[in-house]
Structure 1
Amino acid sequence: MNNKLMLCMATAATVTLSGCTTIADIAGADTATLNNVAAQGFNKTVQEASSNKTLDTSSATYQRVNAVFNKLRPYADQMNQTGTKFAWQLAVLKSDQVNAYVAPGGKVVVYTGIVNKLNLTDAEIAAVMGHEMVHALEEHSKQKVGAQALTDLAIGIGLSAAGAGQGATAAAQLGSQIGIGLPYSRNLESRADQGGLMLMARAGYNPQAAITLWEKMNKLSGSGGSSFLSTHPSNSQRIEAMRKNLPAAQAIYNQR
């Protein structure tokens, strides 16, 4: 891994949230560098999951998630304004965790628990994936990886990994190193919500499903919560904001 980038992450742990800067500012890492580091971490995650037989490549859940991923990908490419082509990849991990995340450069990880426990429809899977893809496309990790974000993320994902067993070690490391699933600001979350609505609509998924997804998340939160919600705050204000963006997304969907 890029030693300079690793040093920046260690240094960031001493920076207060109010004075935090992005990984790119600290390390001088451009988009290509971050994408490369994320790819290395993703590959390690996949290798470890394969070794521990937690990599899902054949179940019905995998087939559905992969189909949604492939349907969204060309539209995500159309939205890419980073100047660097993404090498989109998907890993589906067998786990009861209700979680999903994306690394810079388009490395998507989905836990089977988020699909199975919430009984997600294909359109709701698209809402999850579209939201995460927009975080990557707008490079939100470069904008919001300060000391407290890294600390909270390392603790949150580390605890989730411990509960998921040995097979989650690389996934936890990837999260703590790159800032996967980090608690983005309200503004960036709103941008991902709005962009995700438009992305799923362009791909032919009814954006109304984004509302039902977060309603399911809220219900689950009331009965014990989920690791996904720990970094993706779900509340009535957020759902209401998405409702306001629905007409534009619905118009795109209806034109298909």
Structure 2
Amino acid sequence: MKYKNILGVLGVLGVVTALSGCTTVADVLGADSATLNLNAAQSYNQMLNEAKQKQILDTSSATYKKVNRVFVKMRSHADALNTTGHQFDWQVAVIKSKEINAYVAPGGKVVFYTGIVETLKLTDDEVAAIMGHEMVHALEEHSKNKVGAQALTDLAVSYGAKYVGQSAGGYGGLLLDMGAKYGVGLPFSRNLESRADKGGLMLMAKAGYNPNAAVTLWQKMNAINSSGNNPLMKFTSTHPSNNDRIAGLQKLMPEAMALYKPRK
């Protein structure tokens, strides 16, 4: 029975991938931006409540202060790039977890796990590289490309919870569900990842963060990935290879450096 279920999931994935090739799944389903943003905000607030109950919402550590400091400095620059026709209520949450991950939900709801900052020993500039990347995902509404996959991810989350058990660290279904629904990470999204890399690089430069930190960030990711002993690495699991990413960012560096003015 388990293998039949897996084959069913793969079949749905194939259909979703085919749909995304000819038109956005969001258009097929009639999912407008306002509805996506509202639903994401509701899920985000539920996730926050669950994180508070589990006592894993970080609001005071040095890691939280670093992430929030970068978030505040980049928010106005992100707003200046918003062409969606909908004002974003930008928010950032920091979750206490060893997992190396970050993601964004529609409408500007950013989530960082402490593991990505602490394990990689990220500088403010490197945090800005991730923040810019996630902000661009939201600004370009990349989650619209995943709307059709939500049925699949809902099934995968419930199915995975049965067989994986405590793989999410016991943090609860909503924490897992938010990342699965809104974190852009299916294989067909690699082009979106490249767009977020480029847009995020330019955004961090405009906000006064050194674009070269985007390269050092992925070099750190590479070092951890190459160790072959990192089950908590989620941020790069279905993304372009780190080496391809680094090469792409290096090609874009002259353009980014032309926008860069060191922050005061």
TM-score class normalised by the smaller sequence: 0.7 to 0.9
Partners of 1:105 and 1:247 in 2: CA distance = 30
1:174, distance to aligned residue in structure 2 (A): 1.8
TM-score, normalised on structure 2?
A: 0.84
Question: Any gaps of 5 or more consecutive residues in structure 1?
Answer: 1-11
**Alignment deviations for residues 116-175 of structure 1 (CA, whole Å, 9 cap, x no partner):** 0000000000001110110110011112444499449946xx579932322242121223
2:18 counterpart residue number: 18
Question: Any gaps of 5 or more consecutive residues in structure 2?
Answer: 1-11
1:181 corresponds to 2:184? yes
Partners of 1:13 and 1:91 in 2: CA distance = 30
1:51 counterpart residue number: 53
Partners of 2:214 and 2:59 in 1: CA distance = 26
SS in 2 for 1:166: coil
Partners of 1:14 and 1:244 in 2: CA distance = 33
1:43, distance to aligned residue in structure 2 (A): 0.4
Structure 1 vs Structure 2 CA RMSD: 2.7
Partners of 2:87 and 2:257 in 1: CA distance = 28
Q: How does 1:90-105 map to 2 (within 5 A)?
A: 90-105=92-107
- After superposing the two structures, state which structure 1 stretch, 197-206 or 186-195, moved more: 186-195
**Alignment deviations for residues 82-136 of structure 1 (CA, whole Å, 9 cap, x no partner):** 0000000111000000000000000000000000000000000000111011011
- Is the alpha carbon distance of 1:154 and 1:22 closer, same or farther for their aligned partners in structure 2, counting shifts above 3 Å? farther
SS in 2 for 1:91: strand
Partners of 2:155 and 2:116 in 1: CA distance = 19
SS in 1 for 2:260: helix
**Alignment deviations for residues 46-91 of structure 1 (CA, whole Å, 9 cap, x no partner):** 0000001000000010011000010110000000000000000111
- After superposing the two structures, state which structure 1 stretch, 204-213 or 225-234, moved more: 225-234
1:205 corresponds to 2:234? no
- Is the alpha carbon distance of 1:117 and 1:161 closer, same or farther for their aligned partners in structure 2, counting shifts above 3 Å? farther
2:200 counterpart residue number: 196
Partners of 2:115 and 2:166 in 1: CA distance = 16
Partners of 1:24 and 1:192 in 2: CA distance = 19
- Is the alpha carbon distance of 1:71 and 1:164 closer, same or farther for their aligned partners in structure 2, counting shifts above 3 Å? same
- Is the alpha carbon distance of 1:68 and 1:54 closer, same or farther for their aligned partners in structure 2, counting shifts above 3 Å? same
SS in 2 for 1:86: coil
Q: Percent identity?
A: 58
TM-score, normalised on structure 1?
A: 0.86
The amino acid that maps onto 2:105 is A
Partners of 1:179 and 1:38 in 2: CA distance = 8
1:6 counterpart residue number: none
The amino acid that maps onto 2:253 is L
Aligned length, in residue pairs: 244
Partners of 1:63 and 1:161 in 2: CA distance = 32
Partners of 1:136 and 1:188 in 2: CA distance = 11
Partners of 2:165 and 2:76 in 1: CA distance = 32
The amino acid that maps onto 1:100 is A
1:110 counterpart residue number: 112
Do the aligned residues in 1 keep the contact of 2:75 with 2:90 (CA within 8 Å)?
A: yes
Alignment match of 2:249 (pick from 232, 242, 245):
242
The amino acid that maps onto 1:219 is A
Alignment match of 1:124 (pick from 108, 123, 126):
126
